[in-house]
Amino acid sequence: MSGKRKGLGRATVHDVAKLAGVSSITVSRYFKQPEIVSEALRDRIAEAVAALDYLPNHAAGGLASTRGRVVAMVIPNISGPIFANTIQSFSDELNQHGYQLLLASSYFSMEKEESAVRAFLGWSPAALVLTSQYHSEGTERLIAKAAMPVVETWDYVPERKPVQVGFSHVEVGRQSVEYLHGKGYKRIAYVQNSLIGDLSALDRRDGYISRMNEYGLEPWVFVPTQADPFEAGRQAVNSLLLRQRPAEAIVFANDNLAAGGMLAGLRAGKRFPEDCAIFGFGNYAFSEMLLPSLTTIRSPAREIGEVAALRVLQALGEVPADGPVQHLNLLDCELIARESA
């Protein structure tokens, strides 16, 4: 008989122990009391866990009766304003059908996301919801084997196996250039997110580059070294506007960066958009209140949560599926023209 649990295809604690060359008790201690296991044994067990994609079955204990009514979600940043509406609308839809949301933050780290996914799958949730198409190899293996619905949000790559609910970040980057070019700007720069793990912002950068090339304009990408978004925005404006041929317009990866750049420019005596147009992404709550108000793109954050919850509930048989729905998962972003560009 195979060492994997019948019907689930999951490795057991005994499989891990055999591969690591230790007892099953030692593996159990590794998860429950790692401090009493030697570093050498911890390393061997960790390697075996990764090799087998082992998931400890947390639901085997007292919470087993509730595991079927929990949906797990991993978000890049719980404290960030851009994901708040997705979380709230997703949770609201689930609650109407008696499901609860289990939430974790990866803070744009693939390693932290994989750790959260491993922990969540150990509780056997009813469904798993992730953000974007970008994951570690370990996470890709876990979601490929997951015996539950998996939905990816904030991106739209329909050829991937998990259900996609979101939009094209590449198209957002292209749209920003189209708008600014239509206003007569030629020297248009793009400022990346200072968070290295924000790969969706790099997709928007790629869209910006492709549209600039199509217009016969030279792409101009600035990569901040400051971690704080307001400091990164200040750094970008100070660099891009102090050159001999300064930028005529700047596309920022998000509204936080744009606000930091614009405030720093205003303190230095710059005028927007007279000296330079400023363009953001996200339509954060403060964007309309800035002086000048910020031209930006509103992402369909609330709609993403609502549609993702609907897809989960349909997969679980809680609500009917009305014919082909995949094409309805591609949502629209809205360009909001204000005073800064």
Domain match, 287 and 312 both: no
- The residue among 21, 39, 54 that closes a domain is 54
What is the band of 62 on the pLDDT scale with cuts at 50, 70, 90?
A: very low
95: how many CB neighbours lie within 10 A of its CB? Answer: 12
Q: In the structure, what pLDDT confidence band is assigned to residue 80 with cuts at 50, 70 and 90? A: confident
Q: How many CB atoms lie within 10 A of CB 54?
A: 22
Q: Is 283 helix (H, G, I), strand (E, B) or coil?
A: coil
Do 221 and 127 lie in a common domain? no
- The bridge status of strand 296-298 relative to strand 334-336 is antiparallel
Please state, rounded to an integer, the average pLDDT across all residues of the chain: 89
Same domain, 193 and 282: yes
What percentage of the chain exceeds 70 in pLDDT? 92
Residues spanned by the domain of 153: 59-167+302-331
Query: Given this model, what pLDDT does residue 326 score?
Result: 55
Sheet holding 249-252, edge to edge: 221-222, 188-191, 249-252, 277-279
If pLDDT is split at 50, 70 and 90, which confidence band does 124 have? confident
pLDDT digits (tens, 9 = 90+) for 188-216: 999 999 888 899 999 999 999 999 999 99
* Whether residue 88 sits in one domain with residue 182: no
Asked if residue 234 and residue 214 are part of one domain, the reply reads yes
Tell me the β-bridge partners of 189: 250
For residue 176, the domain's CATH number is: 3.40.50.2300
Per the structure, how many domains does the chain have? 3
Same domain membership, residue 177 and residue 158 = no
Residue 134 pLDDT > 70: yes
Predicted local confidence at residue 64, as pLDDT: 43
**Residue 215: Cβ within 10 Å count:** 12
